[in-house]
């Protein structure tokens, strides 16, 4: 598959960075074509300005600074999100990337006279979220896992009707042992590869 890997973490030496490296290596070994986007390293601007919001219903050509993002979304069959869960949800950088790039005539379109949007990213057949949580699975379940809902519900419905989503989470990172972290790194890459089958 053609997999767009969207990586989000500000620290180069983070555990999420190690996860990214394992996932990219396993996807490459499985002969998937990869495009890696490191939003912090690229200094992506997640800020949706008033001017840009006013362009909400205009074509993507009105925002040429996002042309690479648009091309990546139209190119891929799968998206692999790798990020830490902060405050029970997506980091602001990732949420801002979605707000700005999943735009009219890219992720959706509202036909004249229609009252609901129609999905446009029908090329995307797999979504995989690979995330870490500082707290336990129980705490996240009580919070309702909003990040999981955003990807498995809101994002997924803009993709192919048969798109499958997969949630791969490492819970309790803050209190985890080196052995637990190494075990996760030993398996996470193959879990992503399996999710793209």
Give the chain's domains with CATH numbers. Answer: 2-195 (3.40.50.360)
Segment 97-101 mean pLDDT:
97
Going by C-alpha positions, the residue among 47, 33, 35 that lies closest to residue 1 is: 33
Instruction: Report the pLDDT value the prediction gives residue 86, as an integer from 0 to 100.
Output: 95
CA angle 152, 154, 155 (to 5 degrees): 70
Instruction: Report the pLDDT value the prediction gives residue 5, as an integer from 0 to 100.
Output: 98
Q: Give me the sheet containing 78-84, strands edge to edge.
A: 33-38, 2-7, 78-84, 126-132, 164-170
**The pTM is what?**
0.96
Q: What is the C-alpha separation between 136 and 170, in angstroms, rounded?
A: 9
**Predicted confidence (pLDDT) at residue 184 exceeds the cutoff of 90:** yes
């Amino acid at each position: 598959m053609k997999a767009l890997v969207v990586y989000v973490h500000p620290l180069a030496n983070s555990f999420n960075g190690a996860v990214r490296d394992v996932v990219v290596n396993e996807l490459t070994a499985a002969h998937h074509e990869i495009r890696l986007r490191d939003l912090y390293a690229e200094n992506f601007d997640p800020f949706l300005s008033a001017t840009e919001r006013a362009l909400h219903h205009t074509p993507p050509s009105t925002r040429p600074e996002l042309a690479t993002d648009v091309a990546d979304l139209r190119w891929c069959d799968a998206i692999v999100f790798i990020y830490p869960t902060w405050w029970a949800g997506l980091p602001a950088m990732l949420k801002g990337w979605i707000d700005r790039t999943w735009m009219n005539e890219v992720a959706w379109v509202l036909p004249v006279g229609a009252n609901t949007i129609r999905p446009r990213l029908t090329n995307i057949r797999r979504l995989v979220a690979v995330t870490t949580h500082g707290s336990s699975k129980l705490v996240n379940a009580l919070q309702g896992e909003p990040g999981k809902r955003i990807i498995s519900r809101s994002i997924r419905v803009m993709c192919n009707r048969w798109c499958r989503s997969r949630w791969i989470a490492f819970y309790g990172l803050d209190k985890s042992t080196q052995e637990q972290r190494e075990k996760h790194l030993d398996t996470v890459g193959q879990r992503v590869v399996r999710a793209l089958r």
